Amino acid sequence: MNQNNLHFDLHLFGAGETVITTEGVTDTTTGTVTPYTKSQGLSEEMRTYYSDYLIDNAEPNLIHDQFAQKLPIPRHGGKTIQFRKYDPLPKLTTALSEGVTPSGQTMNMGVVEATVHQYGGYVEFSDLLLLTAIDNNLVMATKLLGSQAGRTLDTITREVLCGGTNVQYGADAVDARYLLTGGKATGNHYMSVDCIKRAVRFLKNQNAEKINGAYACIIHPDCAYDLTNDPNWKFPHQYADTKELYEGEIGMIEGVRFVESTEAKIFHAPDLTPTARSVKCFGEGYEELLGDGAMFEDYGGRSTKHSLMIRSINEGNRANSDVVGRSILVWDESAGSLQYAQVVGYMNNDTMGDTYLYLDRMLVDADDPTKPYVFSEGDMIYPGEAGFEGRDVYATLVIGDNAYGTTELSGGGLQHIVKQLGSAGTADPLNQRATVGWKATKAAVRLVEAFMVRIETASTFEAGQE
């Protein structure tokens, strides 16, 4: 038998079908090829194994899905899925009459529809790589793809939850994200037990039901650091004998059980210029109407629809196109007040070493709104997407039962897909490429806004991520 005439069969790849081929062992004397039946793919058992393995590696990352009302992927039902919510039954304070059957009640059911979308990714193998270690590569690829799928689907749910309407800024000390401070000697807005108690009070007043006897909370490790030092904090070993622990559970306090995830939402403000988060003015500046070149006061308060130009000297740190579209806040040091605007353009004055930022609105004097705002030394321009001076802001979610819904991973929610060498036909004429990937069908929707609260705080730390 001539070993060079043997065809390598990648049994692990394909859709699992059985085919008759003309490939086989060649008799070098007669030149006869003996055909045989072979499997070109994973057996049903192996496909099930790898599919389950993919899901097993995805599930630990689905922190934000843990407390949802879950529904299977709809079969042949279009792209929408219906989640149900029920109104509580009213009190019955009228006494029953002897021998009289009271009128029956009907449940008031609401339906929330969500559109399912597909997501997915894959990795590609070369034939040489596969020839060296087939099983190990497929297992490792499936493990990595499972983690990727889990984190992707978790983020989709997270973004839906963090779009909720009930927001609590710190312990209600401020009323906007851009006012949250951190890293100061005093007055920082960090996560605290009082923040949690206020969120719990809100949920109780909304008659939000608890999940397994407690409200659930998803928290970032940076915020958990600021919370777990409280003497009333209980770690899982102190109550695990009475409760089944959630994935990532770290403890409980004030009737809330906490799960920790580095994927918890962070509102991060990129640097305003290539090397600086904020821009500090060190001389007087002014505003003027864009395009006319005349000072604002010459127009006597004419239309504020004109874009406005701020002259800010930023010590040689030049702006670039990344600043366009950014939200900014201008801190008036003398008045102790903030003004908000959006950058619609910029210009660097290389001769003067200045940077001009064109804004979508007029900034006015804090004491007299009819006058333009004039910069003075010590004033600060900083990005408006996060906290004070661009400090990272963390979202901590406190959740009641049936607050939101998601789709399940099983039953088509997450699929493991393997393609063998040459399965692309003429696109892979030399049988050089094989792939393994995942595809998920996913929907997430908030069902009852009143059953969840987003607490936004700064932290002792800054994660520096979006």
Tens of pLDDT, residues 329-376: 888 888 888 888 888 778 777 776 667 777 777 788 888 887 777 777
The DSSP letter of residue 101 is P
More confident residue, 378 or 25: 378
Q: Is 130 exposed, middle or buried (0-12, 13-18, 19+ CB in 10 A)?
A: buried
Q: Select from 200, 206, 208 the least CA-distant residue to 397.
A: 200
The pLDDT, as a whole number, for residue 9 is 39
Q: What is the pTM of this model?
A: 0.80
| Statement: residue 138 has pLDDT above 90 | no
Helix, strand, or coil (residue 398): strand
Cα 431 to Cα 60: distance, rounded to the nearest angstrom? 36
pLDDT at position 50, please?
82
Mean per-residue pLDDT over the chain, rounded? 80
Lowest mean pLDDT among 55-64, 83-92, 247-256: 83-92
The CA-based angle 157-160-163, given to 5 degrees, is 150
Alpha helices in 206-362 (DSSP H): 221-227
Per the rule left: phi > 0, alpha: psi between -120 and 50, beta: everything else, 264 is beta
**Which residues are within 8 A (CB) of 110 and not within 5 positions of it... i.e. 6 or more apart?**
84, 85, 86, 87
Amino acid letter, residue 394: Y
pLDDT at 412 over 70: yes
**Is the predicted pLDDT of residue 107 greater than 80, yes or no?**
no
Q: Are 358 and 307 in contact (CB under 8 A)?
A: yes
For position 29, what pLDDT does the model report? Answer: 53
Q: What is the pLDDT of residue 286?
A: 46
Average pLDDT for residues 204-219, to the nearest whole number? Answer: 96
What pLDDT shows up at residue 354? Answer: 67
DSSP β-bridge partners for residue 416? 438
Indicate the helix (H) or strand (E) that contains 55. helix 44-58
Cα 279 from Cα 308, distance rounded (Å): 18
Across the range 159-175, mean pLDDT stands at: 96
Identify the band that residue 322 occupies on the pLDDT scale cut at 50, 70 and 90: confident
pLDDT at 1 over 70: no
> Around Cβ 413, how many Cβ atoms within 10 Å?
22
Q: In the prediction, which pLDDT does 281 show? A: 67
Q: What pLDDT, on a 0 to 100 scale, did the predictor assign at position 189?
A: 97
Q: What is the pLDDT of residue 10?
A: 37
Which pLDDT band holds residue 217 (cuts at 50, 70, 90)?
very high
Return the SS3 of 442: strand
Burial class (CB in 10 A: 0-12, 13-18, 19+), 456: buried
End-to-end CA distance of the chain: 61
* Confidence band of 6 (pLDDT split at 50, 70, 90): very low
Query: How buried is 189 (Cβ within 10 angstroms: 0-12 exposed, 13-18 middle, 19+ buried)?
Result: buried
pLDDT at 31 over 70: no
State mean pLDDT over 214-226: 96
Contact 168, 202 (CB under 8 A): yes
Q: Please indicate whether residue 280 or residue 210 has the higher confidence score (pLDDT).
A: 210
